[in-house]
């Protein structure tokens, strides 16, 4: 993930997205059908940490998880039982090799969603801002008018008490 973020942030200096906009501005643009709001977080983040009203999930990248050998996983389970370590999820994370995969259809999917909604701009959101800023830069490079949601979903949308599926 660090490599992807570094690459996306490096690209962000070469191209500039339109601007950061407030959650209130984003909501008004969405309601007026001037823009769609696209959540670039992973599907699991979108599903399990919540999302704003009308957000379209188009992840900028995906994660794949390949389990280590069954012997390793059995040994870990035995260790948890003998040491009462079920609350320590860090040992569980070591049971999988995680690999990030860039969504090769990201730009195409954004363009299709915009066409289906009849809009000519997109507002991007992630958890706190860096991924959506980088994604906005990628879209600007492709000639798409893109905005970044100030503060992301957590410190922007939710803290400003905008409508979301958790409340």
- From first to last of its 167 residues, the chain has per-residue pLDDT tens of 555 555 554 444 444 456 899 999 999 999 999 999 999 999 999 999 999 999 999 999 888 999 999 999 999 888 888 887 666 666 677 899 988 899 999 999 999 999 999 999 999 999 998 899 999 999 999 999 999 999 999 999 999 999 998 75
Q: Which residues pair with 64 in a beta bridge?
A: 99
Residues 6+ apart with CB under 8 A from 48: none
Confidence (pTM): 0.78
CA 76 to mean position of chain CA atoms: 31
Residue 110 burial by Cβ neighbours in a 10 Å radius (0-12, 13-18, 19+):
buried
Q: Around Cβ 26, how many Cβ atoms within 10 Å?
A: 26
Residue count of the chain, please give it. 167
């Amino acid at each position: 993930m660090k490599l992807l973020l570094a690459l996306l942030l490096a690209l962000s200096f070469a191209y500039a997205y339109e601007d950061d906009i407030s959650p209130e501005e984003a909501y008004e643009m969405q309601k007026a059908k001037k823009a769609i709001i696209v959540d670039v977080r992973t599907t699991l983040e979108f599903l399990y940490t919540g999302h704003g009203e009308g957000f379209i999930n188009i992840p900028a990248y995906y994660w794949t998880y390949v389990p280590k050998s069954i012997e390793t996983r059995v040994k870990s389970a035995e260790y948890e039982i003998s040491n009462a370590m079920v609350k320590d999820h860090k040992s569980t994370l070591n049971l999988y090799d995680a690999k990030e995969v860039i969504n090769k259809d990201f730009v195409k999917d954004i363009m299709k969603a915009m066409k289906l909604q009849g809009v000519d701009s997109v507002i991007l959101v992630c958890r706190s801002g860096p991924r959506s800023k980088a994604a906005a830069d990628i879209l600007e490079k492709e000639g798409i008018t893109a905005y970044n949601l100030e503060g992301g979903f957590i410190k922007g949308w939710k803290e400003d008490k905008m409508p979301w599926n958790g409340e």
